[in-house]
Amino acid sequence: MNAPHNISLQIKLPTADGKLEPFALSQPRDFPAQTKRTFNRTAYSAAHVAGDPLSTREPWLESAVDWDSTLAYRRHLWSLGLGVAEAMDTAQRGMGMDWPTSLELIRRSVDAARDFPDALLASGAGTDHLAPASTLTVDDVIAAYDEQCAAVEKAGSRIILMASRALAACTSSPDDYFRVYGHVLRQVKEPVIIHWLGEMFDPALAGYWGYADHDKAMEVALYVIEANVAKVDGVKVSLLDKDKEIAMRRRLPKGVRMYTGDDFNYAELIEGDGRDYSDALLGIFDAIAPAASAALAALAEGKRDAFHEILAPTVPLSRHLFRDPTRFYKTGVVFLAWLNGHQEHFVMVGGQQSARHIVHLAEAFRLADRAGLLHDPELACRRMRSLLAVNGIEG
Protein backbone atom coordinates (compact mmCIF):
# COMPACT_ATOMS: atom_id res chain seq x y z
CA MET A 1 0.00 0.00 0.00
CA ASN A 2 1.03 3.65 -0.36
CA ALA A 3 2.71 5.38 2.52
CA PRO A 4 0.63 7.98 4.45
CA HIS A 5 0.16 11.38 2.85
CA ASN A 6 3.14 13.71 2.96
CA ILE A 7 1.22 16.81 4.08
CA SER A 8 4.25 19.03 3.40
CA LEU A 9 3.79 18.56 -0.35
CA GLN A 10 0.52 20.08 -1.46
CA ILE A 11 -0.89 21.72 -4.55
CA LYS A 12 -4.11 23.55 -5.28
CA LEU A 13 -5.98 21.92 -8.14
CA PRO A 14 -9.08 23.08 -10.01
CA THR A 15 -12.33 21.14 -9.65
CA ALA A 16 -15.32 20.68 -11.92
CA ASP A 17 -17.31 23.29 -9.97
CA GLY A 18 -14.75 25.99 -10.71
CA LYS A 19 -13.04 26.00 -7.34
CA LEU A 20 -9.45 25.41 -6.25
CA GLU A 21 -8.94 22.72 -3.63
CA PRO A 22 -5.72 21.73 -1.87
CA PHE A 23 -4.43 18.25 -2.65
CA ALA A 24 -1.81 16.47 -0.55
CA LEU A 25 0.43 14.12 -2.50
CA SER A 26 1.22 10.57 -1.44
CA GLN A 27 4.52 8.77 -1.43
CA PRO A 28 4.91 6.83 -4.69
CA ARG A 29 4.76 3.07 -4.78
CA ASP A 30 8.07 1.27 -5.00
CA PHE A 31 7.72 -0.47 -8.34
CA PRO A 32 10.85 -2.15 -9.78
CA ALA A 33 12.71 0.05 -12.27
CA GLN A 34 13.49 -3.01 -14.41
CA THR A 35 12.37 -6.59 -14.57
CA LYS A 36 13.73 -9.83 -15.97
CA ARG A 37 10.77 -11.82 -14.79
CA THR A 38 8.74 -13.97 -17.13
CA PHE A 39 5.06 -13.11 -17.52
CA ASN A 40 2.38 -15.72 -18.17
CA ARG A 41 0.49 -13.29 -20.38
CA THR A 42 1.70 -11.68 -23.59
CA ALA A 43 1.62 -7.97 -22.87
CA TYR A 44 2.09 -5.11 -25.32
CA SER A 45 1.91 -1.45 -24.44
CA ALA A 46 0.77 0.75 -27.27
CA ALA A 47 3.36 3.53 -27.02
CA HIS A 48 2.92 7.30 -27.33
CA VAL A 49 5.05 9.77 -29.24
CA ALA A 50 6.48 13.07 -27.99
CA GLY A 51 6.23 16.14 -30.18
CA ASP A 52 9.23 18.29 -31.03
CA PRO A 53 8.91 21.57 -29.09
CA LEU A 54 11.51 23.32 -31.28
CA SER A 55 10.04 22.39 -34.64
CA THR A 56 8.95 25.17 -36.99
CA ARG A 57 6.43 22.89 -38.68
CA GLU A 58 2.79 23.89 -38.28
CA PRO A 59 1.60 21.43 -35.59
CA TRP A 60 -1.90 20.93 -36.99
CA LEU A 61 -0.58 20.20 -40.46
CA GLU A 62 2.74 18.35 -40.20
CA SER A 63 4.25 15.68 -37.95
CA ALA A 64 7.24 16.76 -35.87
CA VAL A 65 8.58 14.15 -33.45
CA ASP A 66 10.99 14.45 -30.54
CA TRP A 67 12.83 11.28 -31.48
CA ASP A 68 15.06 11.09 -28.40
CA SER A 69 12.19 11.22 -25.91
CA THR A 70 9.98 8.99 -28.03
CA LEU A 71 12.55 6.21 -28.34
CA ALA A 72 13.68 6.55 -24.72
CA TYR A 73 10.14 5.72 -23.66
CA ARG A 74 10.15 2.56 -25.72
CA ARG A 75 13.38 1.51 -23.99
CA HIS A 76 11.64 2.18 -20.68
CA LEU A 77 8.77 -0.14 -21.65
CA TRP A 78 11.11 -2.92 -22.79
CA SER A 79 13.13 -2.59 -19.57
CA LEU A 80 9.95 -3.36 -17.65
CA GLY A 81 9.36 -6.53 -19.67
CA LEU A 82 6.50 -5.08 -21.70
CA GLY A 83 6.23 -5.35 -25.45
CA VAL A 84 5.79 -2.30 -27.66
CA ALA A 85 2.88 -1.96 -30.05
CA GLU A 86 4.27 0.65 -32.40
CA ALA A 87 2.63 3.29 -34.57
CA MET A 88 -0.86 2.58 -33.28
CA ASP A 89 -3.63 4.98 -32.32
CA THR A 90 -1.78 5.68 -29.04
CA ALA A 91 1.03 7.07 -31.22
CA GLN A 92 -1.62 9.39 -32.72
CA ARG A 93 -1.88 7.48 -35.96
CA GLY A 94 -4.43 9.46 -37.93
CA MET A 95 -4.42 12.23 -35.31
CA GLY A 96 -1.14 13.99 -36.03
CA MET A 97 1.07 11.12 -37.22
CA ASP A 98 1.10 10.57 -40.96
CA TRP A 99 2.24 7.36 -42.65
CA PRO A 100 5.76 8.48 -43.68
CA THR A 101 6.53 9.59 -40.11
CA SER A 102 4.95 6.43 -38.72
CA LEU A 103 7.17 4.29 -40.94
CA GLU A 104 10.23 6.20 -39.75
CA LEU A 105 9.09 5.57 -36.17
CA ILE A 106 8.77 1.84 -36.90
CA ARG A 107 12.26 1.70 -38.40
CA ARG A 108 13.78 3.51 -35.43
CA SER A 109 11.97 1.26 -32.96
CA VAL A 110 13.16 -1.87 -34.74
CA ASP A 111 16.71 -0.57 -34.40
CA ALA A 112 16.25 0.32 -30.70
CA ALA A 113 14.76 -3.10 -29.92
CA ARG A 114 18.05 -4.77 -30.81
CA ASP A 115 19.40 -3.64 -27.43
CA PHE A 116 16.81 -5.80 -25.65
CA PRO A 117 17.05 -9.56 -26.20
CA ASP A 118 13.61 -11.09 -26.80
CA ALA A 119 11.98 -7.65 -26.98
CA LEU A 120 8.42 -7.81 -28.25
CA LEU A 121 7.66 -5.39 -31.07
CA ALA A 122 4.72 -5.31 -33.45
CA SER A 123 3.77 -2.36 -35.61
CA GLY A 124 0.65 -0.97 -37.18
CA ALA A 125 0.04 -1.41 -40.90
CA GLY A 126 -3.09 0.16 -42.31
CA THR A 127 -4.33 2.39 -45.10
CA ASP A 128 -4.02 5.85 -43.54
CA HIS A 129 -2.05 7.28 -46.49
CA LEU A 130 -5.29 6.80 -48.46
CA ALA A 131 -7.83 9.54 -47.75
CA PRO A 132 -11.25 8.01 -46.91
CA ALA A 133 -13.83 8.64 -49.63
CA SER A 134 -16.88 6.91 -51.04
CA THR A 135 -15.26 7.07 -54.48
CA LEU A 136 -12.52 4.65 -53.41
CA THR A 137 -12.72 1.03 -54.45
CA VAL A 138 -11.94 -2.14 -52.58
CA ASP A 139 -8.96 -2.60 -54.89
CA ASP A 140 -7.63 0.79 -53.72
CA VAL A 141 -7.86 -0.38 -50.12
CA ILE A 142 -6.14 -3.68 -50.89
CA ALA A 143 -3.28 -1.88 -52.64
CA ALA A 144 -2.88 0.47 -49.69
CA TYR A 145 -2.76 -2.40 -47.20
CA ASP A 146 -0.26 -4.24 -49.39
CA GLU A 147 2.01 -1.19 -49.51
CA GLN A 148 2.09 -0.67 -45.74
CA CYS A 149 2.38 -4.37 -44.83
CA ALA A 150 5.33 -4.75 -47.17
CA ALA A 151 7.00 -1.68 -45.67
CA VAL A 152 6.54 -2.90 -42.08
CA GLU A 153 7.89 -6.35 -42.94
CA LYS A 154 10.86 -4.82 -44.76
CA ALA A 155 11.58 -2.73 -41.64
CA GLY A 156 11.82 -5.97 -39.65
CA SER A 157 8.69 -5.78 -37.53
CA ARG A 158 5.71 -8.03 -36.99
CA ILE A 159 2.41 -6.58 -38.17
CA ILE A 160 -0.63 -5.32 -36.33
CA LEU A 161 -3.28 -5.07 -39.04
CA MET A 162 -5.06 -1.84 -38.26
CA ALA A 163 -8.67 -1.12 -39.10
CA SER A 164 -9.11 0.95 -42.25
CA ARG A 165 -11.03 4.22 -42.39
CA ALA A 166 -10.87 3.97 -46.17
CA LEU A 167 -12.53 0.56 -46.15
CA ALA A 168 -15.23 1.76 -43.76
CA ALA A 169 -15.88 4.73 -46.06
CA CYS A 170 -16.22 2.85 -49.33
CA THR A 171 -18.24 -0.21 -48.33
CA SER A 172 -20.81 -1.51 -45.90
CA SER A 173 -20.78 -5.06 -47.23
CA PRO A 174 -19.32 -7.91 -45.17
CA ASP A 175 -18.27 -9.54 -48.45
CA ASP A 176 -15.82 -6.71 -49.08
CA TYR A 177 -14.25 -7.26 -45.66
CA PHE A 178 -13.84 -10.96 -46.45
CA ARG A 179 -12.15 -10.06 -49.71
CA VAL A 180 -9.81 -7.40 -48.30
CA TYR A 181 -8.71 -9.30 -45.20
CA GLY A 182 -8.44 -12.59 -47.05
CA HIS A 183 -6.11 -11.05 -49.63
CA VAL A 184 -3.94 -9.24 -47.07
CA LEU A 185 -3.60 -12.26 -44.80
CA ARG A 186 -2.56 -14.48 -47.68
CA GLN A 187 0.27 -12.04 -48.50
CA VAL A 188 1.83 -11.51 -45.05
CA LYS A 189 4.90 -13.53 -44.10
CA GLU A 190 4.09 -14.08 -40.42
CA PRO A 191 0.88 -14.23 -38.39
CA VAL A 192 -0.53 -10.79 -37.58
CA ILE A 193 -2.63 -9.25 -34.85
CA ILE A 194 -5.93 -8.00 -36.25
CA HIS A 195 -7.05 -4.76 -34.61
CA TRP A 196 -10.77 -4.11 -34.24
CA LEU A 197 -10.93 -0.50 -33.08
CA GLY A 198 -14.39 0.63 -32.03
CA GLU A 199 -16.05 3.86 -33.03
CA MET A 200 -15.57 5.28 -29.53
CA PHE A 201 -11.84 5.41 -30.34
CA ASP A 202 -12.34 6.51 -33.95
CA PRO A 203 -15.79 7.65 -35.15
CA ALA A 204 -14.72 7.03 -38.76
CA LEU A 205 -14.73 3.28 -38.01
CA ALA A 206 -18.42 3.07 -37.14
CA GLY A 207 -20.05 0.10 -38.86
CA TYR A 208 -16.78 -1.79 -39.25
CA TRP A 209 -17.04 -5.35 -40.60
CA GLY A 210 -20.18 -4.22 -42.41
CA TYR A 211 -22.51 -3.83 -39.43
CA ALA A 212 -23.25 -1.14 -36.84
CA ASP A 213 -24.37 -3.92 -34.51
CA HIS A 214 -21.26 -5.23 -32.74
CA ASP A 215 -22.66 -8.73 -32.38
CA LYS A 216 -23.23 -9.01 -36.12
CA ALA A 217 -19.86 -7.44 -36.81
CA MET A 218 -18.25 -10.03 -34.54
CA GLU A 219 -19.60 -12.83 -36.73
CA VAL A 220 -17.82 -11.33 -39.74
CA ALA A 221 -14.55 -10.88 -37.83
CA LEU A 222 -14.68 -14.46 -36.58
CA TYR A 223 -15.34 -15.76 -40.07
CA VAL A 224 -12.28 -13.87 -41.37
CA ILE A 225 -10.12 -15.29 -38.57
CA GLU A 226 -11.37 -18.86 -38.99
CA ALA A 227 -10.77 -18.73 -42.75
CA ASN A 228 -7.19 -17.50 -42.27
CA VAL A 229 -6.23 -18.99 -38.92
CA ALA A 230 -2.63 -19.81 -39.91
CA LYS A 231 -1.95 -16.12 -40.51
CA VAL A 232 -3.59 -14.76 -37.35
CA ASP A 233 -1.65 -14.56 -34.09
CA GLY A 234 -4.55 -12.87 -32.35
CA VAL A 235 -7.18 -10.18 -32.39
CA LYS A 236 -7.18 -6.98 -30.37
CA VAL A 237 -10.68 -5.86 -29.50
CA SER A 238 -11.17 -2.24 -28.43
CA LEU A 239 -14.89 -1.91 -27.76
CA LEU A 240 -14.76 -1.09 -24.02
CA ASP A 241 -17.29 -3.89 -23.46
CA LYS A 242 -15.97 -6.83 -21.46
CA ASP A 243 -18.95 -9.07 -22.20
CA LYS A 244 -18.46 -8.77 -25.95
CA GLU A 245 -14.76 -9.45 -25.57
CA ILE A 246 -15.38 -12.56 -23.47
CA ALA A 247 -17.99 -13.81 -25.92
CA MET A 248 -15.57 -13.45 -28.82
CA ARG A 249 -12.67 -14.86 -26.81
CA ARG A 250 -14.57 -18.09 -26.21
CA ARG A 251 -15.15 -18.56 -29.93
CA LEU A 252 -11.65 -17.96 -31.22
CA PRO A 253 -9.96 -20.89 -32.96
CA LYS A 254 -7.36 -22.76 -30.92
CA GLY A 255 -4.04 -20.93 -30.87
CA VAL A 256 -5.49 -17.50 -31.69
CA ARG A 257 -5.03 -15.04 -28.86
CA MET A 258 -7.48 -12.47 -27.58
CA TYR A 259 -5.56 -9.25 -26.88
CA THR A 260 -7.68 -7.06 -24.67
CA GLY A 261 -7.98 -3.46 -25.72
CA ASP A 262 -10.50 -2.76 -22.95
CA ASP A 263 -9.01 0.12 -20.99
CA PHE A 264 -11.95 -0.02 -18.56
CA ASN A 265 -11.86 -3.69 -17.51
CA TYR A 266 -8.34 -4.92 -18.28
CA ALA A 267 -7.52 -6.38 -14.87
CA GLU A 268 -10.32 -8.94 -14.79
CA LEU A 269 -9.96 -9.75 -18.49
CA ILE A 270 -6.24 -10.42 -18.16
CA GLU A 271 -6.74 -12.56 -15.06
CA GLY A 272 -9.42 -14.59 -16.81
CA ASP A 273 -12.42 -16.47 -15.53
CA GLY A 274 -11.02 -19.96 -15.02
CA ARG A 275 -12.01 -20.95 -18.53
CA ASP A 276 -9.84 -18.59 -20.58
CA TYR A 277 -8.15 -15.19 -20.37
CA SER A 278 -7.03 -12.27 -22.49
CA ASP A 279 -3.51 -11.24 -23.28
CA ALA A 280 -2.95 -7.49 -23.48
CA LEU A 281 -2.38 -4.78 -26.05
CA LEU A 282 -3.34 -1.65 -24.19
CA GLY A 283 -2.87 2.08 -24.43
CA ILE A 284 -3.23 2.43 -20.68
CA PHE A 285 -0.11 0.29 -20.16
CA ASP A 286 1.88 3.26 -21.49
CA ALA A 287 0.62 5.41 -18.61
CA ILE A 288 0.83 2.75 -15.88
CA ALA A 289 3.82 0.78 -17.15
CA PRO A 290 5.60 0.20 -13.78
CA ALA A 291 2.35 -0.95 -12.16
CA ALA A 292 1.42 -3.14 -15.13
CA SER A 293 4.82 -4.83 -15.07
CA ALA A 294 4.68 -5.46 -11.31
CA ALA A 295 1.12 -6.77 -11.53
CA LEU A 296 1.91 -9.14 -14.40
CA ALA A 297 4.92 -10.46 -12.50
CA ALA A 298 2.70 -11.11 -9.48
CA LEU A 299 0.12 -12.91 -11.63
CA ALA A 300 2.84 -15.14 -13.12
CA GLU A 301 3.84 -16.10 -9.59
CA GLY A 302 0.27 -17.04 -8.73
CA LYS A 303 -0.22 -13.97 -6.53
CA ARG A 304 -3.65 -12.99 -7.79
CA ASP A 305 -4.46 -10.82 -4.78
CA ALA A 306 -1.29 -8.80 -5.34
CA PHE A 307 -2.12 -8.53 -9.06
CA HIS A 308 -5.46 -6.92 -8.28
CA GLU A 309 -4.14 -4.83 -5.38
CA ILE A 310 -1.63 -3.20 -7.74
CA LEU A 311 -4.01 -2.66 -10.64
CA ALA A 312 -7.17 -1.71 -8.74
CA PRO A 313 -6.19 1.97 -8.19
CA THR A 314 -5.08 2.28 -11.82
CA VAL A 315 -8.57 1.49 -13.13
CA PRO A 316 -10.18 4.81 -12.05
CA LEU A 317 -7.25 6.60 -13.69
CA SER A 318 -7.71 4.63 -16.91
CA ARG A 319 -11.45 5.19 -17.01
CA HIS A 320 -10.83 8.90 -16.56
CA LEU A 321 -8.18 9.12 -19.30
CA PHE A 322 -10.37 7.13 -21.72
CA ARG A 323 -13.63 8.90 -20.94
CA ASP A 324 -15.70 10.32 -23.78
CA PRO A 325 -14.49 11.62 -26.23
CA THR A 326 -12.30 8.53 -25.91
CA ARG A 327 -10.13 9.38 -28.91
CA PHE A 328 -8.48 12.16 -26.88
CA TYR A 329 -7.03 9.75 -24.31
CA LYS A 330 -3.54 10.26 -25.76
CA THR A 331 -3.38 13.71 -24.15
CA GLY A 332 -3.58 12.24 -20.66
CA VAL A 333 -1.06 9.54 -21.49
CA VAL A 334 1.54 12.06 -22.66
CA PHE A 335 0.71 14.36 -19.73
CA LEU A 336 1.64 11.60 -17.28
CA ALA A 337 4.87 10.83 -19.13
CA TRP A 338 5.80 14.51 -18.78
CA LEU A 339 4.90 14.61 -15.09
CA ASN A 340 7.15 11.60 -14.50
CA GLY A 341 10.15 13.11 -16.28
CA HIS A 342 10.16 10.88 -19.36
CA GLN A 343 10.17 14.00 -21.54
CA GLU A 344 11.06 17.60 -20.80
CA HIS A 345 7.93 19.11 -22.31
CA PHE A 346 4.21 18.55 -22.72
CA VAL A 347 4.14 18.85 -26.50
CA MET A 348 2.29 16.45 -28.79
CA VAL A 349 2.21 16.05 -32.55
CA GLY A 350 -0.83 17.72 -34.03
CA GLY A 351 -0.97 20.11 -31.08
CA GLN A 352 -3.04 17.49 -29.25
CA GLN A 353 -1.87 18.65 -25.82
CA SER A 354 -4.84 21.02 -26.09
CA ALA A 355 -7.38 18.20 -26.57
CA ARG A 356 -8.21 17.92 -22.84
CA HIS A 357 -9.09 20.78 -20.50
CA ILE A 358 -7.16 21.69 -17.38
CA VAL A 359 -9.78 20.28 -14.99
CA HIS A 360 -9.49 16.89 -16.73
CA LEU A 361 -5.72 16.96 -16.37
CA ALA A 362 -5.96 17.99 -12.71
CA GLU A 363 -8.11 14.95 -12.00
CA ALA A 364 -5.63 12.76 -13.88
CA PHE A 365 -2.94 14.15 -11.57
CA ARG A 366 -4.97 13.20 -8.48
CA LEU A 367 -5.74 9.70 -9.73
CA ALA A 368 -2.15 9.02 -10.79
CA ASP A 369 -1.01 10.03 -7.31
CA ARG A 370 -3.56 7.74 -5.66
CA ALA A 371 -2.31 4.86 -7.81
CA GLY A 372 1.26 5.54 -6.62
CA LEU A 373 2.37 6.41 -10.17
CA LEU A 374 3.98 9.83 -9.62
CA HIS A 375 7.43 8.45 -8.87
CA ASP A 376 8.94 11.89 -8.13
CA PRO A 377 6.15 13.88 -6.43
CA GLU A 378 8.22 17.06 -6.22
CA LEU A 379 8.92 17.03 -9.95
CA ALA A 380 5.29 16.22 -10.76
CA CYS A 381 4.10 19.01 -8.48
CA ARG A 382 6.50 21.52 -10.00
CA ARG A 383 5.43 20.65 -13.53
CA MET A 384 1.75 20.70 -12.65
CA ARG A 385 2.13 24.17 -11.15
CA SER A 386 3.79 25.39 -14.34
CA LEU A 387 0.86 24.09 -16.41
CA LEU A 388 -1.64 25.68 -14.05
CA ALA A 389 0.21 28.99 -14.33
CA VAL A 390 -0.02 28.93 -18.12
CA ASN A 391 -3.76 28.57 -17.65
CA GLY A 392 -3.90 31.52 -15.25
CA ILE A 393 -4.27 29.36 -12.14
CA GLU A 394 -2.09 29.70 -9.07
CA GLY A 395 -1.46 26.17 -7.76
Number of structural domains in the chain: 1
**CATH, residue 166:** 3.20.20.70
Mean pLDDT of 7-29: 91
Question: Is 302 within a domain?
Answer: yes
The per-residue pLDDT of the chain, averaged, comes to 95
Strands 83-86 and 121-125: parallel
Dihedral (C-alpha) 101, 105, 108, 114: value to the nearest 10 degrees?
A: -160
Range of the domain at 310: 37-314
Query: What pLDDT digit, counting tens, does each position of 156-198 carry?
Result: 999 999 999 999 999 879 999 999 999 999 999 999 999 999 9
User: Per-residue confidence at 394, pLDDT binned at 50, 70, 90?
Assistant: confident
Question: Is 330 within a domain?
Answer: no
CB atoms within 10 A of CB 348: 25
Question: Is 206 within a domain?
Answer: yes
Question: Is 278 within a domain?
Answer: yes
Query: What pLDDT digit, counting tens, does each position of 129-164 carry?
Result: 998 888 999 999 999 999 999 999 999 999 999 999
H/E element, 335: helix 329-339
Question: Is 332 within a domain?
Answer: no
Q: What's the pLDDT at 145?
A: 98
Which amino acid is located at 254 in the chain?
K
Give the lowest-confidence range in 79-93, 128-142, 372-386: 128-142
Mean pLDDT of 102-112: 98
Query: What pLDDT digit, counting tens, does each position of 206-261 carry?
Result: 999 999 999 999 999 999 999 999 999 999 999 999 999 999 999 999 999 999 99
Cα 17 from Cα 35, distance rounded (Å): 42
User: Per-residue confidence at 33, pLDDT binned at 50, 70, 90?
Assistant: confident
Burial class (CB in 10 A: 0-12, 13-18, 19+), 56: exposed
User: Per-residue confidence at 8, pLDDT binned at 50, 70, 90?
Assistant: low
Q: End-to-end CA distance of the chain, in Å?
A: 27
Question: Is 11 within a domain?
Answer: no
User: Per-residue confidence at 275, pLDDT binned at 50, 70, 90?
Assistant: very high
Question: Is 272 within a domain?
Answer: yes
Burial class (CB in 10 A: 0-12, 13-18, 19+), 323: middle
Cα 359 from Cα 15, distance rounded (Å): 6
Question: Is 184 within a domain?
Answer: yes
10 has a pLDDT exceeding 70: yes
